[in-house]
Structure 1
Amino acid sequence: MTKQKYIILILILGSLTALGPFSIDMYLPAFTAIANYMHVSSDEVTLSLSSYFIGIGAGQLLYGPLLDRFGRKPPLYWGLGLYIAASLGCFFTTSLEVLIVLRFFQAVGSCAASVAAMTMVRDLFPVEDIAKVFSMLILVLGASPMLAPTIGSYISTHFEWQIIFLILTIIAVLILLAVIFLLPESYQPDPTYSLKPGPIIGNFLTVLKDAQFVTYAFGGAFAFAGLFAYVSASPIVFIDGFHLTKNQFGWLFAGLSVGFIGSSQLNSLLIKKYKSGQMINVSIICMVIISTVFFIGSLNHWFGLAATIALIFGVLCCVGICAPNTSALSLAPFTQNAGAASALMGAAQMAVGAGASIGISAIKIHSSLPMSVVMISSSVIALLIVFVGKRSIKHKVEASGDVVVGH
């Protein structure tokens, strides 16, 4: 593989991975504008975020088998087409109920991009390189929290909030064109792969019988819920709680994303000296400690804006270290059923993330307390899953090392 082709692959796969998060981050600053337009509360608008998480979780279970049966690109075409149609629907809707439903279908479309991207990483790169590749994808993914809220805040301040969904439609069209013309098919269709419920469930059960997958996919999902808690609660904490303007919130969101992005890139350096399992252990322990301080302080109203930002930044750094390593170790055991494994891993992340988002909306307190409650709960559960689950892994498949780029 040439260096140029390698870079193109990373950019396209990163763009596919970023489509879903971009669809979340870009409309966060518009929560108040949407609420005012539809005559509802910001808490109710949060349900459109929850439906998005549910749609991604459900959709990933659909795309896993389709990717293994029809190859990687045809299901990707269908998913991106659905995303484009649903985004246009969001642009025209005037009802919160319709927006919630359309966001669900928008998510079902976008998760084709994320599942295909993760699966193609497993197809296109050697197993010892995938932790590093995931870290590089997170660098591209990092454009979402850095650019999307800033763009969203500018649009919602100077234009109607609906323009956000028009821009998302245009982005999806450009990604679809890149997939068609620049992304190679990495897996030939398998006509013997059955799409009947029985065999599909059997493939999922085969993946779930792997102790390494269960330990790191579900441990990683609960650790990743810290990021979902931040995304879901940040408009409530900073706009409603600390009374930041939309533009201030956009820049703050972008700044905090440096913690997640920077730590993921630090991980790509640390992985040269340490194993993925070691990185996971340290990051989750640190996340538990920081979340505990955050929860106690939030409960007792100790923290102002600066301390709240610092503690959230610490949690995001821990997630940035943990996420690429849990993803790598989850997929490392699979050459067959890679699509099913990617789908289950993504579904676990989104199911837990949807639970975190719903938990945020259920705790109707305009402070950092709901965010801290979800963060400490999810990090403790992640710690228990990893430290208990790894004892049952008999033959661990490692996923660390340097990327080798051919010339």
Structure 2
Amino acid sequence: MNQAHEKTPSKLTLLAILSALMAFTSLSIDIYLPAMPAMQSDLQGHVELTITSFLIGFSIAQLIWGPISDRIGRKKPLFIGMVLFVIGSVGCALSQTIDQIIFWRVFQALGACTAPMLARAMVRDLYQRIEAAQMLSTLMLIMAVAPILGPLIGGQILKLSSWHVIFWLLAVIGMIMFVCIFRLPETHNPKIQQQDQPIKHAFLNYGALLKNWQFMRYVLALTAFYVAAYTFIVGSPLVYISYYHIDSQHYGWLFGLNIMGVMMISLINKKLVRRIALYKLLKWATTVSMCAMLTLVYLFYTQHLNLVHLVIFLLIFFSMNGIVAATSVAAALDIVPQMAGSASALIGSMQYGSGIISSLLLTFGKTNSPEAMIMIMAIFAALSAIVSWVPHREPK
């Protein structure tokens, strides 16, 4: 563990707070998925734009917060982020039109993006390459509860009240997290904050990062994988509910099955990273994901695809996220420890910005069958695997 200049809390406390921060993205999106039909009816607009606008704000804002955190530390941006998140959540709860909620979702994202981005940076501040991968696997194991509970909680709220209450709940969660941040140490080493330089110099880090192929290889592999993953997240409600006629109340359980797979693989990955190099784990995980999706493409075009096949192979694909996310992020950040904040911001921006690509591609290719979803997923799963297998020098 690296030395921090504040006393580090117990590992259990650190795990709990960092996991909650890492879960902010999933919670901010998944909790209101069951409410989207009701919101569509009330607001009379394209409610899917509330996800797109959130991801746009989430992706762009990280690029600003990352260099700032490398200059002023991790905790101050987290505090500011939680305040912005609470204000945005209240704005969403009070919205009466689709334009209003789209605006406040962007505002909400400006704060929410600090949570997972700086949680990753703090892990890199505190832990070295292998330990960081183990810690990220543990965080993914815990944070995976959010995508399971989110839709279930949102569905229960709708039974008792309106969708507005969901956003009031998010505001309360933001306030709780604001208090919890006081328990975190300031992990960024003040000796490398370069306080004598203008802050604009910190933004020049992005140029250096984009030119660093060793770093970008991991980022591109992760981004391509997440384009496929978000294609599933955005496209699966239509496929499961409209095409296969799954009851909307049961959709959450099918969605949660994939998250259980991520949790199981994350648990296994904690042990694998001690024995197998991170880049090798990434190669094989992306290859397994690609093979799963290519199998679905084959089954679809040979007219043998059924719901059981779809559930099984999507489970295989999505479970690999337990390896892909942890190994790619840990390996990438280990290459540029002096720019961990900026690097984490660039990773997060591309990772979550991938959802914008997914939603746009599904809009153009939307059909009443799984075809568009599995084709997009297969293409980007293959791209992720190809990038992972490109030869390059690895650190020992």
* Bin of the TM-score, shorter chain as denominator length: over 0.9
Question: 193, 199, 220: which one pairs with 1:195?
Answer: 199
| Structure 2: distance between partners of 1:176 and 1:13 | 13
> 1:86 maps to which residue?
88
Are 2:16 and 1:11 aligned? Answer: yes
Q: TM-score, normalising length from structure 1?
A: 0.90
Note if contact 2:224-2:354 (Cα within 8 Å) is conserved in structure 1: yes
Q: Distance in 2 between matches of 1:80 and 1:4?
A: 20
Shift of 1:148: 0.6
CA distance in 2, matches of 1:362, 1:100: 21
User: What per-residue deviation string (whole Å, max 9, x for no partner) do you get for residues 1-29 of structure 1?
Assistant: 89971111111111111011111111111
> 2:163: which partner in 1?
161
List aligned pairs for 1:5-404, cutoff 5 A: 5-40=10-45, 44-180=46-182, 182-187=183-188, 188=190, 190-196=194-200, 199-299=201-301, 302-388=304-390, 390-391=391-392, 393=393, 396-397=394-395
Contact 1:149-1:253 within 8 A present in 2 as well: no
- The one-letter amino acid paired with 1:72 is R
2:43 aligned partner, one-letter code: M
Contact 1:31 1:235 in 2 (8 A): no
SS in 1 for 2:171: helix
Q: 1:178 to 1:201 in 2, by over 3 A?
A: closer
Aligned to 1:272, the other structure's residue is in SS state helix
Q: Which amino acid is 1:192 matched to? A: D
Pairs aligned (count): 388
* In 1: Cα distance, 2:58 partner to 2:110 partner: 5
AA matched with 1:168: L
SS in 1 for 2:337: coil
Q: Normalising to structure 2: TM-score of the pair?
A: 0.92
Q: Secondary structure at the match of 1:82?
A: helix
Give the 3 Å change call, closer, same or farther, for CA 56–3 of structure 1 in structure 2.
closer
Q: Are 1:25 and 1:231, in contact at CA under 8 Å, matched by a contact in 2?
A: no
- Paired with 2:262 and 2:357, the residues of 1 have a C-alpha distance of 21
**Structure 1 residues 77 and 366, CA gap change in structure 2 (3 angstroms):** farther
* Inter-partner Cα distance in structure 2 for 1:155 and 1:304: 33
Which one-letter code corresponds to 1:50 in the other structure? T
Contact 1:224 1:323 in 2 (8 A): no
Structure 1 position 200, deviation (Å):
3.6
Question: Which amino acid counterpart does residue 25 of structure 1 have in structure 2?
Answer: D
CA contact (8 A) 1:19 1:172 kept: no
Q: Secondary structure at the match of 1:343?
A: helix
Counterpart of 2:356 in structure 1: which amino acid? A
Cα offset, 1:162, TM superposition: 1.5
Task: Give the stretch that moved more between structures: 324-333 or 348-357.
Answer: 348-357
Greater shift in the superposed pair: 23-32 or 238-247 = 238-247
- Give the SS at the match of 1:336: helix
> 1:295 offset after TM fit, Å?
2.5
Which amino acid is the alignment partner of residue 10 of structure 1? L
Shift of 1:203: 1.3
- Give the secondary structure class of the aligned counterpart of 1:271: helix
Deviation per residue, 1:48-88 (Å, 9 max, x gap): 21122211110110111110111111111111111111111
Contact preservation (8 Å) 1:80, 1:176: yes
For residues 295 and 105 of structure 1, what CA distance do their matches in structure 2 show?
39
The separation in 2 between residues aligned to 1:76 and 1:22, in whole angstroms, is: 17
Instruction: Return the alpha-carbon distance in structure 1 between the equivalents of residues 389 and 222 of structure 2.
Output: 12
CA distance in 2, matches of 1:362, 1:301: 23
RMSD between superposed Cα atoms in Å: 2.0
Deviations along 1:261-294, one digit per CA (max 9) or x if unpaired, are 2112111122222111111111111111111122
1:194-216, Cα deviation, whole Å (9 max, x unpaired): 222xx244211122232221101
Residue-by-residue CA offset, 1:120-151 (whole Å, 9 max, x unaligned): 00111233311101100101211111211111
In the TM superposition, residue 379 of structure 1 has moved relative to its aligned partner by: 1.0
Which of 376-385 and 108-117 deviates more? 376-385
Q: How far apart are the structure 2 equivalents of 1:366 and 1:55?
A: 30
Q: Give, in whole Å, the separation in 2 of the partners of 1:370 and 1:48.
A: 22
* AA partner of residue 79 (structure 1): G
Retained in 1: the 8 A contact 2:157–2:165?
yes
Deviation at 1:243, TM superposition (A): 2.8
Contact 2:81–2:114 under 8 Å retained in 1: yes
CA contact (8 A) 1:29 1:235 kept: no
Query: Where does residue 402 of structure 1 map in the other structure?
Result: none
